[in-house]
Structure 1
Amino acid sequence: MRSERVRLFQTLPHACGYFAERTAQNLVIDPAAPQLDQLYGPALERGFRRAGGHLYYPSCPQCQACTPCRIDVEGFRPDRAQKRCLRRNADLAITESIPGYNAERHALYERYLRTRHAGGGMDEAEASDFRRFLTAPWSPTLFLEFRQGARLLGVAVTDVCLTGISAVYTFFDPEETARSLGTFAILQQVDLARRRGIPWLYLGFWIEGHPKMDYKRRFRPLQIRGPDGWKPMAEGSAS
């Protein structure tokens, strides 16, 4: 991803999604670049993340809290809580599905956003919002669907590159909190990576001490990316 081959743009300051009193900026790989599908894997390795058709990396002048993180798939072993999560959801069927919009997925997505992100600007998502945020024509995406019989309980939007899988977004039935479907989705993505021989599962960004990000450190061994590249997260981090 050399600078003479790929243009990077910096966004204007906008409201930070994690700290209400802060503003954020991102570096974005040229969305018109014709080779985005080929750039995606190397971009993941450098800490970038996909949102819709954009590959971005936080670039905030006054804050470096967002830290890329990834699970070492080969070394991962579920802890006791994660094993309980797998047992609680043993009745679910998992399907690797073609990505995209349909009315059933959209209805679940809307219910999830209204409950989990009420008032956040995403809670009235239309069909166009669903398509624009979750999919991209160049992205190697699949939807992992979780069903209890015919009933759709969750969807894990999952990008599958040759050397890494990216957990893009998960939405699920907000009435099924006891199932811990967010954790279950990551465990299924780890399993998918293992079955395909892919070494890394990228979880996006981790923020030390942030309650919305704390769950990520429970997937060990976890690596974080700093100025010197990827390194294992210390066992006691943010505990």
Structure 2
Amino acid sequence: MHILNKDIEFIEEQRACSYFENKISDIRYKYMYACSPNSYQTMLERGWRRFGRMHFVPECKFCTKCVSMRIDVKNYKFSKSENRVINKNKDTKLYIRPPSMTMEHLDLYDKYHEFMNRKKDWPYSPIEPDEYSKSYVESSESYAKEFLYMRDDKLIAVALVDILPNAISSIYCYYDHDYADLSLGKFSILAQIKIAKEMNIPYIYLGYWIKDHFSMGYKEAYTPFEVLTNRPNLEEETIWKKYEL
């Protein structure tokens, strides 16, 4: 039996925090060669995230700043400014398909992260094809999708999205800042909300929200949303509550 066909679970303790300098974090990982929609739904509801075949959840002993959040799709109403973003993108074409990797993907990914390195001091080095494939392409599940945003036959944004019967998980998005006037990051989330409404999907999981954080605080703009108030294991009940800003 090949080991990669088996689930592997481990915890990484005392690692450098991705969001705060001089802080440490503890992350539980689960490598899953296959993950059914029902199993994935259970994990999403309990704060797990997915990159490729690797799932993870924070278990930091002394910090709870990373809060799992989800958009309440049914009660979401687009604001005037959000409708303007949607209208500005009337000529932006969206293609939804299984994740893939081309030189266009890699070049856009590097361009985005090089820009964020200058703007927000994100760490940056060009991504290797194998690393991109493991993080964003490898999955044996049909719910894994990529949203390709095109303008004039040019790839200008990519969003990695999981679409389940009762949830959309927004995994990652990168885009071309040369098209800043189109607000592509915001448009990608709004497009997912529209699709969720059309499919009667109740929630969009945006991952971890950190209030007032320079990179993770933006998620509170998508109200109404709920937050996970406990840290349940996979057998325990969840406590989701509407967040009041």
* TM-score after normalising by structure 1: 0.88
The Cα RMSD (Å) is 2.0
* 1:127 partner letter: P
Distance in 1 of aligned mates of 2:63 and 2:9 = 20
Q: Secondary structure, in 3 states, of the residue corresponding to 2:138?
A: coil
Distance in 2 of aligned mates of 1:187 and 1:233 = 20
- Deviations along 1:70-104, one digit per CA (max 9) or x if unpaired, are 01111111122212211221221111122111111
Q: Which moved more, 1:46-55 or 1:36-45?
A: 36-45
- Deviations along 1:112-144, one digit per CA (max 9) or x if unpaired, are 111114674443101112111113323421111
| Contact persistence 2:211–2:217 (CA under 8 A) | yes
- Deviations along 1:194-220, one digit per CA (max 9) or x if unpaired, are 222211100000012212222211111
| Contact persistence 1:36–1:138 (CA under 8 A) | no
Give the one of 118, 126, 129 matched to 1:127: 129
Which sections of structure 1, spanning at least 5 residues, go unmatched?
Answer: 1-5
Give the drift of 1:160. 1.0
| Contact persistence 1:224–1:230 (CA under 8 A) | yes
- Deviations along 1:5-33, one digit per CA (max 9) or x if unpaired, are x975311322211101111111223x146
Distance in 2 of aligned mates of 1:34 and 1:130 = 19
2:166 counterpart of 1:156: no
Corresponding residue for 2:60? 60
Give the one of 220, 224, 233 matched to 1:221: 224
Distance in 1 of aligned mates of 2:112 and 2:168 = 23
| Contact persistence 1:78–1:219 (CA under 8 A) | no
**C-alpha distance 133-7 of structure 1, shift in aligned 2 (>3 A):** closer
Distance in 2 of aligned mates of 1:213 and 1:137 = 26
- Deviations along 1:44-94, one digit per CA (max 9) or x if unpaired, are 111111123211111111111000000111111112221221122122111
* 2:23 partner letter: R
2:91 counterpart of 1:104: no
- Deviations along 1:136-177, one digit per CA (max 9) or x if unpaired, are 323421111111120111011101112111000001112222
Q: Secondary structure, in 3 states, of the residue corresponding to 1:13?
A: strand
Distance in 2 of aligned mates of 1:23 and 1:38 = 32
Distance in 2 of aligned mates of 1:182 and 1:37 = 26
Q: Secondary structure, in 3 states, of the residue corresponding to 2:174?
A: strand
Corresponding residue for 2:77? 77
* 1:232 partner letter: K
Distance in 1 of aligned mates of 2:126 and 2:217 = 27
* 1:210 partner letter: H
Aligned length: 229
Distance in 2 of aligned mates of 1:7 and 1:13 = 20
Which sections of structure 2, spanning at least 5 residues, go unmatched?
Answer: 1-6, 231-237
* 1:123 partner letter: S
Corresponding residue for 1:137? 139
Pairing of 1:30-45 with structure 2 (within 5 A): 31-32=31-32, 35=35, 38-45=38-45
Corresponding residue for 2:3? none
* TM-score after normalising by structure 2: 0.86
| Contact persistence 2:34–2:139 (CA under 8 A) | no
Corresponding residue for 1:47? 47
2:238 counterpart of 1:232: no
